[in-house]
Amino acid sequence: MVINHIEPDHAEAFARIVEVIKPEKIFLTKSAKTGLISHFHREDYPFIEVKTGDEIKIGNRTIKFIETPMIHWPDSMMNYIVKGKILVSQDAFGAHYATSRRFDDEVDTCELIQEAAKYYANIVYPYSPQVNKLLQTVKQMGLQIEMICPDHGVIWRKEPEKIISLYERWSSYTCNLRVLIIL
Ligand SMILES: [Fe+2]
Ligand SMILES: [Fe+2]
């Protein structure tokens, strides 16, 4: 079991799920472990702390861990699944976008981008320096990304680079040039 974020909208059912599936190991950041123990009072769970650069192998899949503190809580982290080049991005690259569809190419692109921008402005914007640092880390790690699976909204599979480039722009406070014509 991997816990990427302990904010209650993500992890409220944590203890119940542990009781049902009885995971052999629970991978999480040091800060997530501290937070979960204080929320659920279960020091006895099989917690294993991980940090950026650590990885585990599950069958033919390798999962790499990337800490992303303050995106959007101190405990946050992401996972990169090597097979499939999938980034499980937790709060980043998400949107408060309710749809019965699962993928970006199944919904209206303009509406999706608008919702992603609104989400960035309301949730992620204060942590733009951390987003900038994360994007640099992803580049330094040389991760090729073919799919982004955020915890909110739809999965980016058609053009994951589109939302990455928008995050580069939004996190660097770059505005589009605009012209105002007064008649
Ligand atoms: Fe969050
Ligand atoms: Fe969230």
pLDDT at 138 over 90: no
Does 3 fall in a domain?
no
* 1 in any annotated domain: no
Output the CA 108–ligand 1 centroid distance in Å.
25
Flag whether 178 is in a domain: no
Number of domains in the chain: 1
End-to-end C-alpha distance for the chain, whole angstroms: 61
Give the model's pLDDT for residue 38.
94
Strand order in the sheet with 86-90: 55-58, 61-67, 77-81, 86-90, 147-150
**Ligand 2 centre distance from Cα of residue 92 (Å):** 8
Give tens-digit pLDDT for 52-96: 999 999 999 999 999 999 998 999 999 999 999 999 999 999 999
Residue 37 to residues 47, 52, 103, 161, Cα–Cα distance (Å): 10, 22, 34, 37
Residue type, 50: V
Closest CA to 155 of 121, 114, 106, 119: 106
**Is the residue at 81 inside a domain?**
yes
pTM above 0.85, yes or no: yes
pLDDT for the residue 169: 94
- Tell me: the pLDDT tens digits for 21-38? 999 999 999 999 999 999
Distance 172 CA to ligand 2 centre (A): 22
Which pLDDT does position 46 carry in this prediction?
97
- Confidence class for position 143, pLDDT limits 50, 70, 90: very high
Task: Tell me whether residue 101 is in a domain.
Answer: yes
61: CATH:
3.60.15.10
Question: What is the Å distance from ligand 1's center to 161 Cα?
Answer: 22
Cα(21) to centroid(ligand 2), Å: 23
Residue 97 pLDDT: 93
> How many Å lie between the centroid of ligand 1 and the Cα of residue 59?
30
Whether 2 maps to a domain, the answer reads no
Residue 75, pLDDT score: 97
Residue 176 within a domain:
no
Residue 139 confidence class, pLDDT cut points 50, 70, 90: confident
CA of 17 to the centre of ligand 2 (A): 18
C-alpha–C-alpha distance, residues 59 and 152, integer Å = 27
CA of 175 relative to ligand 1 center, distance in Å = 25
The answer as to whether 102 is a domain residue is yes
Where in the sequence is the domain holding 58, given as residue range(s)? 8-171
Ligand with an atom nearest the CA of residue 119:
2
